[in-house]
Chains A and B, each alone.
Chain A
Amino acid sequence: MNPSTVKLKVSVAPHIRSVDNISRIMYSVIAALMLPLVGAIYFYGWCALWLTLSGIVGAVLAELIVNLIQRKFTITDGSAIITGMLVAFNVPPGAPWWLPFAGSIFAILVAKAPFGGLGYNILNPALAGRAFLMASWPNFMTKGWLAPIRPAGSTVSGVATITTATPLGVAKLQPKLASMLNTPAALKAMFIGNVGGVVGETSALLILVAALPLMFKKYIDWRIPVFYIGTVFALTGILYELGVTPLSPFAHVLAGGLFLGAFFMATDMVTSPVTRKGKIIFAIGCGIITVAIRIWGGYPEGVSYSILLMNIVTPLIDRKVRPRRFGT
């Protein structure tokens, strides 16, 4: 018998793979983030788009520099674009154009690349970028709130009086005015997004709609936003009843960056735990820290720092929280 001459490839099983891959996940997230971006442009004007583009250019440029140094080609995986978008989503709409650019450069060059690039970073790069901006240019990061260019009308007078501040800023600095935020009209404005805030956090509704298909595809795990927001709701509910916070739990949930953080930043795969149980613990931790910072901390908002702190705890959670092994 003559030996066959057909050339065959050999590798370890499995010989079929699912269609999901890293760039597919990343570009799906980018596509989803377009919705809050469109919302931001609608509510704050074109400045939202320029800031976002500045963030993306900064992140991609930084990733390119890292690629050139490491002679490794990762720029097309899409992760840098997400980082850039999220950094921009975390600055006030009235910020100078270079602010997200600088934040993105820091995110990639300091928080991501030195740790080994995508998959190895401990902190969410975008949030690390935001923390860097908070520390370096606190003025730009805490002022420059734009009144939404869509007048809310007389029905939402409560919010209209405070349009050039964020709802949580009001609650912190002028607690007497805060009760206005608990009205259904104000809550509706916050849900729709017609209030002051950073570029990407404004509309809870758009974030929710953007996140739904991703949750369906399991590109973001539903447990994290559900347990995160649930924890914030439960804790602020108790504290509101005790008179510790002037804001109702509904206002706490809808105000600020909780939706953006819970759906798009805490769910970052790289920096959250790998097990389902671990994700739930992580999300509850984020909720507790967020509430603590909002109510007792020095900042009006605590979402980004709470996620960063839980990012640090993630390796510990992954070590301690194991799934139940079959037959044990």
Chain B
Amino acid sequence: MKLKRVTFQGGVRVPEHKELTEDKPIEVLPEPELAIIPLSQHTGKFANPTVKPGDRVKIGTKIGELQGFISANVHSSIAGKVVKIDEYPHPVGTTVPAVFIENDGSGETEEFTPKDWDALSPQEIIETIKEAGIVGLGGAAFPTHVKLSPPPEKRFHSMILNGAECEPYLTIDYRLMVEHAKEILEGGAIIRKALGAKTAYIGIEDNKPEAIEQMMKLAPEYDFEVVVLRTKYPQGSEKQLIKAITGKEVPSGGLPMDVGVYVQNVGTAYAIYEVFSKGKPLYERGVTVTGKVKEPKNLLVRIGTPVKKLIEAAGGYSEPPGKLIIGGPMMGISQYTEDIPVVKGTTGIVVQSAAEVTLPLDLPCIRCGFCVDVCPMGLVPTLVADYVRVNDIDAAEEWGIMDCMECGSCAYVCPAKRNLVHYIKLGKTIIMKRRK
């Protein structure tokens, strides 16, 4: 069957390396003896701890209560005793308060009560999702109930399930789509009801034929349209995905809701399905463990499991490790310790050997224009970075620095191996501070 493939302007073709894990079914990783569950695993305010050292918790017990508008609940992923609540390294590079839970091996769970979403109102659906601590599982971890509740003047007419998974190496969304296509679509149907969206799509890159086939088979039943996307990074970026599928451009400085389109990662849709079908809050997620490990695999992991355990489960390092990346190699964060825990936003762990590690050389720009050609936002990255470098933040802003989503396409193609994303992140941080 010849399929029409849609895409966006700019972007890069990146070696995918998905073959390492794409045929590995998701395995369940045993519960950790000690779970370290950060109270901030989402965009927004920390959750307030609702337990104290010495308390006994079960699987699914709420241990952190959301506070403020943008925040999310946090649940225990194992049954046992709270040993302490203390600052602990977080994958984003800072330390945050985390709840340490010692596993008692009982595996006892809270009583989960499934809910018939068909009988619920959109508001009740959103409430249920909020209670379950659901956040975007594509990596950004934005609280889903907030995303589902736009200001009253904004309406969503379309929704897109994001199955692009454009980051190299990662295959967890792909495995979910192959193994749980029906559940993802059902989760999508729940989101759709909460939004009241008329049209619904699921976008998948053409390097995942098996997932496309699965979804093609089942989508009509849920009135979803499967859209095949050209494999190109960053196809999974919200704005690029919306452009490719609906032809609409989210205005500069705006949000997808400004064009009435809602985007949600397929993993999140699956988690939402589980909230309603099983009554399960978000305490585990799929993680691809890949790169220079002996047996790369896809794992179902309890939140709070130290990354070290995942590396062990993958047979350990196959070569002396150089970088440990949480997320994909294009936008992931390199870690300084393997003791950090898996959080809700952890899509994958990519290990690079010491020999593979490329550190930015930051040579002078030779003005080749490659970065301009690949920038999916239509910026001139080299110039924007230079303005930040010489501390002319106003000029950087004038040249659109705030539109940058830090996809790293520019730095990827740069022959001078410049630290473009670093300068742009710095500039954005300075501007955000100023605006406060």
Chain A positions near chain B (C-beta within 8 angstroms): 1, 3-4, 6, 8-18, 20-22, 24-25, 116-120, 218, 221, 269-276, 279, 318, 322-328
Contact = CB atoms under 8 A, between A and B. Distances in A.
B239 interface: yes
B249 A3 contact: no
B329 A274 contact: no
Nearest to A269: B368
Given A3-B337, A21-B417, A327-B249, A9 B323 contact: yes
Interface string B289-320: 00000000000000000101000000001000
Contact of B415 (A6, A24, A274, A328): A24
Nearest to B253: A327
A140 B322 CA distance: 58
A14 B411 contact: yes
Given A12-B360, A16-B330, A326 B403 contact: yes
Contacts of A120: 364
A218 B168 CA distance: 23
A275 B329 CA distance: 27
Given A15-B323, A275-B380, A325 B331 contact: no
Interface stretch (B49-57, B178-186, B370-378): B370-378
Nearest to B12: A18
B403 A12 contact: no
Interface in B362-410: 363-370, 372-373, 375-380, 382-383, 399-400, 403, 406, 408
Contacts of B382: 274
B358 interface: yes
B359 A13 contact: no
A270 B365 CA distance: 8
13 contacts: A12-B422, A13-B411, A15-B330, A15-B334, A16-B330, A16-B358, A17-B412, A21-B415, A120-B364, A274-B367, A325-B400, A327-B253, A327-B254
Contacts of B85: none
Contacts, number: 175
A326 B380 contact: no
B377 to A, nearest CB: 5
Contacts of A11: 323, 334, 359-360
Contact of B366 (A1, A18, A118, A273): A118
Interface in B237-252: 239, 243, 249-252
B359 A318 contact: no
Most chain-B CB neighbours within 10 Å: which of A271, A323, A327? A327
Dominant secondary structure of chain A at its interface with chain B: loop
A323 to B, nearest CB: 5
B366 A10 contact: no
B249 to A, nearest CB: 5
A276 B373 contact: yes
Contacts of B333: 13
A24 B317 CA distance: 32
Interface residues on B, range: 35 or more
Nearest to B375: A323
Contacts of A18: 12, 412-415
B254 to A, nearest CB: 7
A8 B251 contact: no
B378 A14 contact: no
A25 B369 CA distance: 13
Contacts of A324: 378
Across the A-B interface, the 3 shortest Cβ-Cβ residue pairs: A14-B408, A119-B364, A274-B369
B412 A25 contact: no
B324 A8 contact: yes
B34 interface: yes
B416 interface: yes
A13 B332 contact: yes
Contact of A274 (B253, B321, B339, B372): B372
Nearest to B351: A8
A119 B417 CA distance: 13
Contacts of B416: 21-22, 119
Contact of A17 (B308, B331, B411): B411
B403 A325 contact: yes
A15 B325 contact: yes
B81 interface: no
Contacts of A325: 252, 377-379, 400, 403
A8 B336 contact: yes
B338 interface: yes
Most chain-B CB neighbours within 10 Å: which of A4, A13, A272, A323? A13
Given A1-B339, A325-B377, A326-B403, A221 B369 contact: yes
A25 B376 CA distance: 24
A8 B93 CA distance: 13
Contacts of A276: 369, 372-373
B249 A14 contact: no
B155 interface: no
A31 to B, nearest CB: 16
Given A14-B329, A325-B400, A22 B252 contact: no
Given A13-B330, A276-B373, A323-B379, A118 B364 contact: yes
Contacts of A9: 322-323, 334, 354, 357, 359
A272 B366 CA distance: 10
Contacts of B34: 1
Contacts of B230: none
B411 A326 contact: no
B332 A15 contact: yes
Nearest to B381: A274
Contacts of A25: 366, 368, 415
Given A4-B337, A221-B369, A326-B377, A14 B252 contact: no
B419 interface: yes
Contacts of A318: 380, 383
Contacts of B253: 327
A18 B416 CA distance: 11
B337 A8 contact: yes
Nearest to A328: B252
Given A4-B308, A16-B15, 15 more contacts: A4-B339, A8-B324, A10-B335, A13-B333, A14-B411, A16-B358, A18-B413, A274-B367, A274-B368, A275-B369, A323-B372, A323-B378, A326-B239, A326-B252, A328-B251
A270 to B, nearest CB: 5
Interface string B240-272: 000100000111111000000000000000000
A3 B350 CA distance: 20
A3 B325 CA distance: 18
Contacts of B368: 25, 269, 274
A12 B372 contact: no
B332 A22 contact: no
B194 to A, nearest CB: 26
Contacts of B239: 326-327
